[in-house]
Amino acid sequence: MFLFGLVLTLRRTIDRGSLWGCIGLHGGLVGIWYLFDSGMVIFSIDTPYFLLGPSKNMINPIGSVVGITILLVSIFFQRRLFARTGRFLASTVNASFKDETP
């Protein structure tokens, strides 16, 4: 969840404070999780744990090795895009320049 929080934070910063990219990412993840949890996508008993997550009782696509790898790759590419834009959210920068407490 920490990695997903970083992905959403970087997305919001790159989008200059707009939440629409974060809403799309979160909605897509919830939709995929619903497909897994509702039984629309059925996995066999022999499916390895690195695809489904660490628990046998509950499918957790974020907790799987594949999910963590996808989040890390996403952070890497968003970090490069963030470094190219080179700006933080305007509200945090302005608050620190005016010697105000954010």
**Does a structural domain hold residue 33?**
yes
Q: Which two tokens stand for residue 47?
A: 């499916």
Residue 102 maps to a domain: no
**Tens digits of residue pLDDT in 41-67:** 777 777 777 777 777 667 777 778 888
- Asked whether residue 66 is domain-assigned, the answer is yes
pTM of the full predicted structure? Answer: 0.66
Contact 73, 86 (CB under 8 A): no
Please compute the mean of the pLDDT values over residues 22-45 and round it to a whole number. Answer: 83
**Percentage of the residues of the chain whose pLDDT score is greater than 90:** 5
Q: What is residue 6's predicted lDDT score, i.e. its pLDDT?
A: 87
Domain count, the chain: 1
Domain, as residue range, for 85: 2-97
- For 43, phi then psi, to 5°, come to -105, 145
Region of poorest pLDDT, from 23-37, 47-61, 71-85: 47-61
Greatest CA separation for the chain: 59
The 10 Å CB-count burial string (b at 16+, else e) for 7-43 is bbebbbbbeeeeeeebeebeeebeeeeeebeeeeeee
> How far apart are the C-alpha atoms of 98 and 81, rounded to whole Å?
28
The per-residue pLDDT for 85 is 65
Higher pLDDT residue, 86 or 41? 41
